[in-house]
Every structure is written in C-alpha cells, then in structure tokens.
C-alpha cells in the first residue's frame, strides 16, 4: 500500500463516521480541508484507544507508539501516513504526547462528573494548543473544556454505562447514561470557543449527543446541518 493510499484510508474512515462533515467542510478554507480531516482522523485514533473494550494491552501499546511518533515529528521523522500530512505543522506535538497516558487513566470509572472532566483536562488543553497553531487562531476563552466534553460524549456513546460517573449510578433506575448525557449537554455550549474547524466539529458532535441522550435517531438533514454549521462557523 502506498503512502497516499494509506493516508486516504485513514481519512475515508473518519469521513465515513462523520458523513455530516461534507456539509460543514465548505466553511473551511480549501487549502486546509485535507489537513483538518487528517487531524480529526488522528483524534479519532485516540478516541478508539480510550474507548477500547476487552484486553486493553494492545490499545495501550498502540498509544505508547503514538507517543513516540508524535515526539518524532519535531525532527520530521514521521512513520505514520497521518504524520506525513501533520508533522510539517510546527505544533506542540511533544506536549500532546505527554498527555496521551491520561487516556488510559480516563478509562477508570470516575467518582463524579468533576473528576471525569479533570481526568481529561490536560489532554483537552494539549489538543487545543495544537489546534491554535495548526489553524493559526490564538486561543481565546476556554478552548480545552469543549474538547473534553466532546471526548466524554464520544466515550459515553461507545462505552455506555461503563463511562458514567459513580455518583450518577447511585440511583439504580436504569437512567444513568441519560443523566450523564444530559449533564454533558448542559455544560457544553451550542457554540464553543476555538478555531473554525473545532467549532464546526463540536457543533456536529453536540447535535449527535442531543439525539443519543434522548434515545432518538440522528436526523441530520443537509439543510439543518448547513444552518447549524453556518452559525458555528460565524464564531
């Protein structure tokens, strides 16, 4: 498999998971579009590692490999197809690598919602710092928390009750996942801070979380998605 074909396979995997992006993508400058999808594809790799089920050792080994890979990008020694696209950006890759082990700790059931957010705060800050450089948008406001909330929402969708804080499991009424989903939404503004690609991605993810938390199918018609992402793109 050539490097180009391997890269396309990772990009296509993310696009398949996020078909709504084809409506949002025109709001991203054309020169940035492949870079944006490569970056979100990398974050999806980290989400998959966080939300692994069964024996965690292979996922943990993969995460350690990613840490080494990110540290090598400063010297332009990438080995992964996504690295060929991302490493030219002089972003704080080493700081992101340093935060990756937090994903392993974040698999543990948190005591309460506050602990769930704290467990991923350094990771969220590292992701936001990379995005500030990558998309040439100085960080203004709280740019880390929306990343954390989106990561927690994805974890809830993938892991179900295993992702719910213990304090919300105290009432054994079968609605703990719903309560946690609703709490994430309350803390997650409809329009977040950060560069435009993050605002667009967060808008799509929050819409999914609204549907999931209500036990409904996602009704993301092109018109609704267009209006929602246009509003997010305005900043």
Quote the Cα angle for 57-46-35, to 5°. 145
Neighbour tally for 18: CB within 10 Å: 18
The span from the CA of 199 to the CA of 233, in Å, is 7
- In the block, residue with structure tokens 């054994």: 172
pLDDT score for 218: 64
Residue 11, token pair as written in the block: 């990009």
Please state the pTM of the whole predicted model.
0.93
pLDDT digits (tens, 9 = 90+) for 136-194: 887 778 899 999 999 999 999 999 999 999 999 877 667 889 899 999 999 999 889 99
Terminal CA-to-CA distance of the chain, rounded, Å?
Answer: 40
For the segment 54-83, the average pLDDT, to the nearest whole number, is 94
Taken as a whole, the chain contains a residue count of 235
Residue 205, token pair as written in the block: 């993810």
| Pair 32, 196: CB distance under 8 Å | no
Q: pLDDT tier at 118 (50, 70, 90 boundaries)?
A: very high
According to DSSP, residue 54 is labeled S
CA torsion sign, 68 to 134 to 114 to 181? negative
């Amino acid at each position: 498999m050539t490097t180009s074909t391997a890269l396309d396979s990772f990009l296509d995997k993310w696009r398949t998971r996020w078909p709504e992006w084809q409506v949002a993508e025109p709001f991203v400058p054309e020169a940035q579009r492949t870079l944006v999808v490569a970056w979100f594809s990398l974050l999806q790799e980290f989400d998959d590692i966080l939300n692994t089920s069964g024996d965690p050792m292979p996922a943990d080994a993969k995460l350690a490999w990613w840490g080494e890979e990110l540290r090598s990008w400063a010297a332009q020694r990438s080995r992964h197809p996504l690295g060929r696209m991302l490493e030219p950006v002089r972003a704080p890759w080493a700081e992101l690598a340093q935060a990756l082990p937090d994903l392993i700790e974040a698999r543990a059931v948190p005591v309460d919602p506050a602990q769930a957010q704290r467990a991923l705060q350094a990771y969220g800050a590292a992701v936001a710092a990379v995005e500030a450089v990558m998309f040439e948008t100085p960080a203004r406001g709280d740019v880390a928390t929306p990343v954390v909330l989106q990561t927690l929402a994805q974890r809830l969708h993938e892991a179900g009750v295993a992702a719910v804080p213990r304090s919300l499991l105290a009432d054994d009424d079968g609605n703990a996942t719903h309560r946690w989903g609703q709490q994430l939404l309350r803390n997650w503004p409809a329009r977040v801070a950060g560069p435009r690609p993050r605002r667009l991605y967060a808008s799509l993810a929050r819409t999914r979380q609204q549907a999931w938390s209500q036990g409904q199918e996602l009704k993301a018609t092109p018109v609704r998605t267009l209006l929602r992402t246009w509003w997010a793109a305005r900043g």
